[in-house]
C-alpha cells in the first residue's frame, strides 16, 4: 500500500489563511508569518537542547502530576510548512521536515545526518514509497526526484515533459509516482492541468490524462489502493482513476469542499463532509455508510491507525470508529472537559494515541489513552508560533514540529 493517504500538493494560501483566520490572527501577523519570521523558544537559539530531563513515564503515560514529559531533544530547523500531515516524516532512523534546505535529523540524538539545498519545494509533500523519498524538485526545473531517506543520496529522477510546468507528486505506490502538472500554452500561461503516472523504476511516463477544464492543480489530496487512485480537490470533486491506464472510473461532487486528508480502507474511501463522515465504494462511488456529528459541529481530518479510524469534531469530541462499518468504538469528551484544542492529525505508539492541533494556546500535542480516549497530558512549547503542530513517529519517539522547532518526545 502507498504512503499517499491524504497527501496534499500545491499548498494554497487559501487553506493557510483559513487556519490563520480561525485562530484570530491579524493580517499584519499573517504578513510577518509569510516572510518566515518565527518566535524562538525560551530554550535558546538554533540547535538548542533543553536541560536534562527527568525520568519519563513509560508508554506515553502521564507523570504523577499529569505533566507532559520533557523533550529528549529540541532542534531549530529550516522547516517551511503549511500544516499538512505529509510535511513531516520519520523513516530509516531519521526525521525530516519539509523546508529548504531539506534536512534529516537522527531520530535518537537530533544530530544532523544530511542536508539537501533545493531538495524540495517548501511545504510540498514528503512521499514515501518502496524505501524511497519522492519530492517535487526545489530547483523548479520540471523534475521529480527520489532519494534514499537514510542518506539523502539521489536514487531516481524523472521529467514529465517540456510542455508541462512543475509536476507535483500527489501519491506513490510500489510501481508508480502520480503527479499533477500545469499544461503550458504557447504564451507561457496555463488554464488546464494533467494527471500522470511515472514509472518508479525507469522514470518513464506510464500514462497521462488531461483533467477537466476548471479543475486546479492546487489543493489536491490523493491516495492509492490497488488499482484505484483516489483524490479530492477544492472544487468539491471526489475522483477515482485506474492506476494502470489513468482512465477515470468515476467522479462525483462532494457536499462540502475537503480541505484536509481522507482515508482509504480496503474497498472504501472515507471523507469528512462537514457534519457527516461518509464512506464510498471505490468501485462505483456508492455510499456505504455515514456517521453524523452533533448539530452545529463538523468533523476534522481522519487518520487510520492499526485498523481503527480516529477523528475529532469541532465540538471537541474524539471518536474511534470501525472503518469498514462506521460503527462507533468509543467517544471521548476528555478534551471538552479539559478545555483543550481539537487535534487534526494522529499517530499511535503502543496504547497511546498522539494528536496534533492547530495554533491554539490550549493545543500542541495531546496524548490519549487509545482504548477509551482519556486525556493523559498535553505538550506545548509555549512559543506562541502561529504554525499548526505536526507529528510523526518511529515507534520509539514522537516527533513534534511547531514552526521551526522540532521536538523529540519519548513514546
- Candidates 172, 127, 136; CA nearest to 2 is 172
Q: What is the pTM of this model?
A: 0.84
For helices 13-22 and 27-34, angle between their N-to-C axes, nearest 10 degrees: 130
Residue 151 has what pLDDT? 96
Per residue in 397-407, pLDDT (tens digit) is 999 999 999 99
Which residue has 501519491 as its cell numbers?
171
Residue 52 has what pLDDT? 40
Residue 93 has what pLDDT? 97
How many C-beta atoms lie closer than 10 Å to residue 381's C-beta?
Answer: 21
In sequence order, the 6+-apart residues with CB closer than 8 A to the CB of 111 are 105
Grid cell listed for 9: 500538493
Residue 189 has what pLDDT? 78
Alpha carbons 98 and 128: distance in angstroms, whole number = 13
- Candidates 321, 366, 323, 322; CA nearest to 343 is 366
Residue 124 has what pLDDT? 81
Per residue in 76-130, pLDDT (tens digit) is 999 988 888 899 999 999 999 999 999 999 999 999 999 999 888 877 889 999 8
Residue 22 has what pLDDT? 38
Residue 410 has what pLDDT? 97
Residue 137 has what pLDDT? 86
Do 124 and 143 form a contact (C-beta atoms < 8 A)? no
Alpha carbons 219 and 122: distance in angstroms, whole number = 15
CA-based max dimension of the chain = 67
Residue 45 has what pLDDT? 37
Residue by residue, pLDDT tens for the chain (411 residues) are 444 444 444 444 334 443 434 333 333 333 333 333 333 333 333 333 343 443 444 555 545 567 999 999 999 999 988 888 899 999 999 999 999 999 999 999 999 999 999 888 877 889 999 899 999 988 888 899 999 999 999 999 999 988 888 888 999 999 999 999 988 887 877 788 999 999 999 999 999 999 877 676 777 899 999 999 999 988 888 999 999 999 999 999 887 765 678 999 999 999 999 999 999 999 999 999 999 999 999 999 999 999 999 999 999 999 999 999 999 999 999 999 999 999 999 999 999 999 999 987 889 999 999 999 999 999 999 998 999 999 999 999 999 999 999 999 999
Amino acid at each position: 500500500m502507498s504512503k499517499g493517504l491524504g497527501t496534499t500538493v500545491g499548498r494554497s494560501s487559501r487553506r493557510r489563511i483559513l487556519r490563520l483566520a480561525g485562530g484570530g490572527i491579524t493580517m499584519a501577523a499573517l504578513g510577518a508569518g509569510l516572510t518566515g519570521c518565527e518566535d524562538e523558544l525560551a530554550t535558546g537559539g538554533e540547535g538548542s537542547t533543553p536541560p536534562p530531563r527527568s525520568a519519563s513515564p513509560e508508554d506515553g503515560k502521564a507523570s504523577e502530576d499529569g505533566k507532559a514529559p520533557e523533550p529528549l531533544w529540541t532542534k531549530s530547523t529550516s522547516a517551511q510548512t503549511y500544516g499538512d500531515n505529509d510535511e513531516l516524516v520519520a523513516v530509516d532512523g531519521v526525521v525530516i521536515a519539509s523546508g529548504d534546505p531539506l534536512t534529516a535529523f537522527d531520530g535518537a540524538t537530533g544530530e544532523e545526518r544530511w542536508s539537501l539545498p533545493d531538495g524540495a519545494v517548501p511545504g510540498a509533500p514528503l512521499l514515501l514509497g518502496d524505501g524511497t523519498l519522492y519530492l517535487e524538485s526545489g530547483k523548479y526545473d520540471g523534475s521529480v526526484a527520489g532519494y534514499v531517506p537514510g542518506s539523502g543520496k539521489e536514487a531516481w529522477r524523472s521529467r514529465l515533459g517540456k510542455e508541462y510546468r512543475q509536476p507535483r507528486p500527489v501519491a506513490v505506490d510500489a510501481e508508480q509516482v502520480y503527479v499533477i502538472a500545469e499544461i503550458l500554452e504557447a504564451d507561457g500561461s496555463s488554464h488546464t492541468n494533467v494527471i500522470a503516472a511515472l514509472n518508479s523504476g525507469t522514470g518513464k511516463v506510464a500514462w497521462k490524462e488531461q483533467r477537466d477544464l476548471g479543475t486546479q492543480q492546487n489543493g489536491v489530496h490523493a491516495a492509492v489502493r490497488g488499482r484505484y487512485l483516489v483524490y479530492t480537490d477544492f472544487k468539491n470533486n471526489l475522483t477515482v482513476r485506474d492506476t494502470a491506464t489513468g482512465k477515470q472510473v468515476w467522479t462525483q461532487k462532494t457536499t462540502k469542499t475537503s480541505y484536509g486528508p481522507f482515508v482509504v480502507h480496503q474497498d472504501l474511501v472515507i471523507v469528512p463532509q462537514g457534519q457527516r463522515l461518509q464512506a464510498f465504494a471505490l468501485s462505483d462511488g456508492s455510499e456505504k455508510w455515514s456517521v453524523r456529528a452533533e448539530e452545529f459541529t463538523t468533523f476534522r481530518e481522519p487518520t487510520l491507525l492499526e485498523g481503527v479510524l480516529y477523528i475529532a469534531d469541532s465540538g471537541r469530541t474524539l471518536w474511534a470508529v470501525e472503518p469498514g462499518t462506521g460503527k462507533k468504538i468509543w467517544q471521548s469528551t476528555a478534551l471538552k472537559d479539559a478545555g483543550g484544542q481539537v487535534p487534526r492529525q494522529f499517530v499511535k505508539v503502543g496504547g497511546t494515541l498522539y494528536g496534533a492541533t492547530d495554533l491554539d494556546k490550549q493545543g500542541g500535542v495531546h496524548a490519549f489513552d487509545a482504548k477509551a480516549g482519556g486525556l493523559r497530558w498535553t505538550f506545548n512549547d509555549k512559543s506562541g508560533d502561529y504554525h499548526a503542530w505536526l507529528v510523526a513517529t518511529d515507534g520509539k519517539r514522537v516527533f513534534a514540529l511547531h514552526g521551526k522547532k522540532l521536538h523529540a518526545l519519548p513514546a
